Homo-oligomer: A and B are copies of this chain.
């Protein structure tokens, strides 16, 4: 799941690599580099070892929709395992290391090893749930409520702090807001004591309802 909630990558232990079952190549990527582009033939699936990769779609009119950011432990291009092409653009936004898996290798492994297949299904399911949450969020019209929804979804239960995946501008894109609107909304929320802004983080202050 690309939801910035570190806990997700928790069970990456179930994932293939660690069991050394698949031949995976590691590669280093620099900021700005394109991992793959929308429409391109898909031959591999990637796992983020470190860094940050931005996923975005471009529609026919040229508008760009940010799907999210993949962080450590996330996989990219899962859906393209069963599709001949990639459906979005993946661009590196923070120096990254990735692991590369050949589609054919993975598929063969899944056919042979039910455990691996199931682990992958779990990953797919989580991505679905994450996308649903995103969809729900985008349906909220108020910028403030949208930010609230994001914070609620990404604050771990105990720490009331959300680590921003990248710049505030990136977050704006992810929330489907203009950066100006987001800056203003954050300012207002801070002024109202609803949040506190730290360096690259946001802390939720007790809901004063």
B122 touches A82 (CB 8 A): yes
A122-176 at interface with B (beta carbon < 8 Å) = 122, 124-129, 131-132, 134-136, 138-140, 145, 149, 152, 176
Which of A87, A126, A138 has its CB near the most chain B CB atoms (within 10 A)? A138
What number of A residues sit within 8 Å (CB to CB) of B?
44
A82-140 at interface with B (beta carbon < 8 Å) = 82-83, 87-88, 107, 110-112, 114, 117-118, 120-122, 124-129, 131-132, 134-136, 138-140
B132 touches A132 (CB 8 A): no
Pick the contact of A67 from B122, B126, B132 — CB < 8 Å?
B132
Q: Scoring A residues 58 to 71 as 1 if CB is less than 8 Å from chain B, else 0, what string do you get? A: 01110101110000
Write the nearest CB–CB distance from A123 to chain B, whole angstroms.
9
Pick the contact of A136 from B57, B124, B127 — CB < 8 Å?
B57
Chain B residues near A136 (CB, 8 Å)? 57, 59, 65, 67
Chain B residues near A17 (CB, 8 Å)? none
Whole-angstrom distance between the alpha carbons of A36 and B61 in the complex? Answer: 38
Q: Is A35 an interface residue (CB 8 A)?
A: no
Chain B residues near A111 (CB, 8 Å)? 114, 118
Chain B residues near A78 (CB, 8 Å)? 125, 128
Q: Is A43 an interface residue (CB 8 A)?
A: no
Chain B residues near A80 (CB, 8 Å)? 125
A60 touches B152 (CB 8 A): yes
Write the nearest CB–CB distance from A205 to chain B, whole angstroms.
17
Closest 9 CB pairs of A and B: A65-B139, A138-B138, A131-B131, A124-B124, A65-B136, A79-B128, A82-B125, A111-B114, A79-B125
